Amino acid sequence: MKKAWSFARDISLYAIKGGPFFYAWMLFLFFFILVGLYTSYRQFSEGLILTGATDQIPLEMFFANFVFTAHVAAAAVLVVAPGYFYHRKDIKELAVIGEIIAMVFVATGITFILYHMGRPDRLFHMIPGIGFLNFPNSMLVYDTIVLNVYLLLNLTGVVYILYNKYVGTFDSKHLARWFTPIVYLAIAWGPLIHIVTAFVLASNARMVPWATAVLPFGFLSMAGASGPALIILIFLLTRKYSKLQINDSIIDLLTTIIAWSLGILMLVFAAEIFSVLYSSTEHAASLKYTMFGHNGLNKYVPWFWGDIGTLIGCFIALLFPGVRRSYNFWLPIVCLLVFFGVLVEKPMVLVFPAFSPSPLGEYTEYHTTLIEFLNVLFIWAVAFLWLTLIIKGAIGILTGEVRYRKSPPRKAVQH
């Protein structure tokens, strides 16, 4: 107990100390958190009427961002898997960072869903026993289950690894009996949450643009692009600002994953666009609206082309070794573009235009409200706050700067 207490204390104390760059970042996040507290209060007291959602477009920015968090959460296994499946030692050391990212992003996704709910106060209706779950029919039920289990799996993994490293009992060759299955389960669970999230969308026959078999493949390839993009950025920052060593070979592996995920994504887009547009039946209406507009409503047209252009550009850029090796300039730029390219795709290409035409032939543009936007920023600010602090604490433990007073001195840090 005493150990657990000092674990929590030491890791928090380490996490909140940093250089000016770190404090500036915290201040930046806190600004949006403060504003967001007020706008969240407004939304929870007055209802979703403060967002841009309507009966024509019932999903708001929150839901779109939720899909994106599922991308990144699922992709975090890409840092965990190589270590455990291919026994790459250097990356196995970093597996815990992947698990932290998965944990924080799943929690963020669940928060987005909370903001999406019309009656968040009644969520207890979904607790089995007290409430009622429409199992096995409702896809949202599956999603709730897989997301929460994924959160738990990663939470267990993170706490187990960090705590044991902290007290000095961690030995990657002799993990606890129960722990190895949990790691493998968590690795399998990553793609699972993503496939289920795709099915939540694809299960609606009337949402013609989503009711396609390529949706999970599109999602997985976008996950494979956006997740590692974020992870590379985190790794580059980490090795610049901390003592933790991260080999170039790990970055290169992740870059390769991004490049080929983008490649597969191009194929998925091409397959979808071809099979919809060649015959151009009434099912093409929504895609045509996104690509070319409809009777003067063309809000999504620049977003669509801009986004596709960005992703194709990033794919081509990553084919050049010069870009892949430019760890301090080109690579971070490409990673940022991929991250935001996939993020922006969610509301502006995947979600909002999919509602036009409606079943009764209406075309609608979505108008995000300021409150909704600030709430989205609030949730992201909280997410990045946690992400920064937890990863920072973890770095302290991985480098051996934070450890239990009485634990035996660590052998050389492996990498």
Give me the residues that bind other proteins (CB under 8 A), please.
46-51, 53-55, 58-59, 116-119, 121-123, 125-126, 131-134, 137-141, 144, 200, 203-207, 282, 285, 357-362
Nearest-approach distance from CB 315 to other proteins, in angstroms: 32
Q: 365 φ, ψ to 5°?
A: -105, 145
Closer Cβ to other proteins, 169 or 280, answer by number: 280
Q: Are 223 and 74 in contact (CB under 8 A)?
A: yes
Closer Cβ to other proteins, 169 or 281, answer by number: 281
Closer Cβ to other proteins, 56 or 164, answer by number: 56
Q: How many other CB atoms are found less than 10 A from the CB of residue 310?
A: 18
Closer Cβ to other proteins, 123 or 176, answer by number: 123
Cα separation, 86 vs 88, whole angstroms: 5
Q: 271 φ, ψ to 5°?
A: -65, -45
DSSP letter for each residue of 237-261: HHHHHSS----HHHHHHHHHHHHHH
Nearest-approach distance from CB 118 to other proteins, in angstroms: 2
Q: 136 φ, ψ to 5°?
A: -100, 30
Cα separation, 20 vs 274, whole angstroms: 51
Nearest-approach distance from CB 117 to other proteins, in angstroms: 5
Altogether, the residues listed in the chain come to a count of 415
Which pair of tokens denotes residue 9? Answer: 């204390």
Cα separation, 139 vs 41, whole angstroms: 30
Closer Cβ to other proteins, 13 or 117, answer by number: 117
Long-range contacts of 319-325 (CB under 8 A, 24+ apart): 319/259, 324/252, 324/255, 324/259
DSSP letter for each residue of 347-413: IIIIIGGGG-S-TTS--------HHHHHHHHHHHHHHHHHHHHHHHHHHHHHTTSS--TTSPPP-SP
Nearest-approach distance from CB 103 to other proteins, in angstroms: 24
Nearest-approach distance from CB 362 to other proteins, in angstroms: 6
Nearest-approach distance from CB 109 to other proteins, in angstroms: 14
Nearest-approach distance from CB 215 to other proteins, in angstroms: 14
Residue 346 per-residue DSSP state? I
Cα separation, 87 vs 213, whole angstroms: 34
Nearest-approach distance from CB 222 to other proteins, in angstroms: 21
Closer Cβ to other proteins, 62 or 160, answer by number: 62
Closer Cβ to other proteins, 48 or 153, answer by number: 48
